[in-house]
Amino acid sequence: MVLMKNVEVSNVIDPIPATDGAGVKLKRSIGVEPNYFDPFLMLDEFGSENKDDYIAGFPPHPHRGIETVTYMLAGDFEHKDSTGGQGRMSAGDVQWMKTGSGIIHSEMPTMKEGKLHGFQLWINMPANQKMSKPEYHYIDSDKMKIHKDNDKFVKVIAGKFNEAKGPISKHNIEPIYFDVELEKDKDFEFNLPLTHNSFIYLIDGEIKIGSKIHDKIKDSTLILLTKGELLKVSSLAKAKFLLISGKPIGEQIARGGPFVMNTKSEVLQAIEDYHKGTFVK
């Protein structure tokens, strides 16, 4: 019998309040501390019932060299971009965008009031893909597979849980992206690849991870995980969390706002292209 290496808590991080776009209030975790958790560049949770916190949205802005994954839990957003991509995101929908050589896009709320809640994850692209043609994938909630039993509900955006397989496949980082709801005093177990960097973002509830003692984890918290195979999450109260995992790229990065390249000169080139009007190929 081969014993699997347990996944444990590496670090528990409280997100910091931030604003982005035209003043949208959010909580940022990856992109602050840690600044980079290869291949993940940024993780934002945006959410409010006060329209003044989100109504100005994210007007047109550029990106190069990254992928953006937007997952809506509540509310409605409309996406438009320079490739002609357009879609209205509603609760449960995902927008997975490879910006490649350059894209200009906007994400604006289509609601005047009510609750807005969602996540945006930035994923780095390897050097040989950074100047590739942009791609836009819109995934309706009802196109995603779900595993459901008496203990848990697992929505699979990328990767596979039991028989439920996500719509994102043949991707260089071999991503795993689950939305998990776990009833009180129940366990969630999953085998992670040893190659991957993984984290959990607890949305609400309280959980314990692994077998070692760690800081209390409750509501809106980023938990970086150690490399291992057997992940065990136990709920101390009914909990909802994201499990996200990906294979590191292992390349030097240079960041300049919405541009993430491998060298500073490539970032300066992106800025020049944008100002010259030659950014979108």
Read off the pLDDT of residues 146-197 as tens digits, 9 standing for 90 and up: 999 999 999 999 999 999 999 998 899 999 999 999 999 999 999 999 999 9
Look at the chain and report how many structural domains it folds into. 2
Instruction: Give the N- to C-terminal CA distance of the chain in Å, as an integer.
Output: 55
The CATH number that applies at residue 43 is: 2.60.120.10
pLDDT at 111: 80
3 state DSSP class of 74: strand
240 with 221, same domain: the answer is: yes
90 with 47, same domain: the answer is: yes
Two tokens at 230?
A: 């057997």
Return mean pLDDT, the chain: 93
21 with 135, same domain: the answer is: yes
Give the contacts of 277 (CB within 8 A, at least 6 positions apart): none
Q: Is the torsion defined by CA of 107, 111, 113, 118 positive or negative?
A: negative
How far CA 245 is from CA of 72, 174, 249, in Å, comes to 19, 8, 13
On whether residue 5 sits in a domain, the answer given is no
Residue ranges making up the domain that contains 168? 146-250
133 with 160, same domain: the answer is: no
87 with 151, same domain: the answer is: no
CA distance 249 to 162: 27
CA distance 108 to 102: 20
Question: What percent of the chain clears pLDDT 90, i.e. is strictly above it?
Answer: 73
Q: Which of the listed residues 143, 164, 197 is the one where a domain comes to its end? A: 143
Closest to 109 in 3D by CA, of 146, 54, 72, 160: 54
Two tokens at 8?
A: 């444990």
CA distance 124 to 38: 8
pLDDT at 19: 86
On whether residue 48 sits in a domain, the answer given is yes
Question: pLDDT grade, residue 1 (50/70/90)?
Answer: low
Task: Determine contact, residues 159/166, Cβ cutoff 8 Å.
Answer: yes
125 with 214, same domain: the answer is: no
152 with 125, same domain: the answer is: no
209 with 198, same domain: the answer is: yes
Strand 58-63 and strand 103-109: pairing? antiparallel
Burial group, residue 192, by CB count within 10 angstroms (0-12, 13-18, 19+): buried
pLDDT digits (tens, 9 = 90+) for 82-124: 888 888 899 999 999 999 999 999 988 888 788 889 999 999 9
pLDDT at 67: 97
On whether residue 265 sits in a domain, the answer given is no
75 with 153, same domain: the answer is: no
Question: What percent of the chain clears pLDDT 70, i.e. is strictly above it?
Answer: 99
204 with 222, same domain: the answer is: yes
On whether residue 8 sits in a domain, the answer given is no
197 with 124, same domain: the answer is: no
On whether residue 197 sits in a domain, the answer given is yes
Two tokens at 80?
A: 């438009």
Closest to 242 in 3D by CA, of 173, 184, 190: 190
Question: pLDDT grade, residue 2 (50/70/90)?
Answer: low
On whether residue 6 sits in a domain, the answer given is no
pLDDT at 34: 86
On whether residue 9 sits in a domain, the answer given is no
127 with 173, same domain: the answer is: no
Residue 21 scores a pLDDT above 90: no
pLDDT digits (tens, 9 = 90+) for 35-56: 999 999 999 999 888 888 888 8
Task: Determine contact, residues 62/108, Cβ cutoff 8 Å.
Answer: no
Q: Which of the listed residues 143, 165, 185 is the one where a domain comes to its end? A: 143
On whether residue 4 sits in a domain, the answer given is no
pLDDT at 179: 98
Task: Determine contact, residues 243/193, Cβ cutoff 8 Å.
Answer: no
CA distance 120 to 73: 11
Q: Which of the listed residues 123, 143, 163 is the one where a domain comes to its end? A: 143
pTM score, two decimals? 0.95
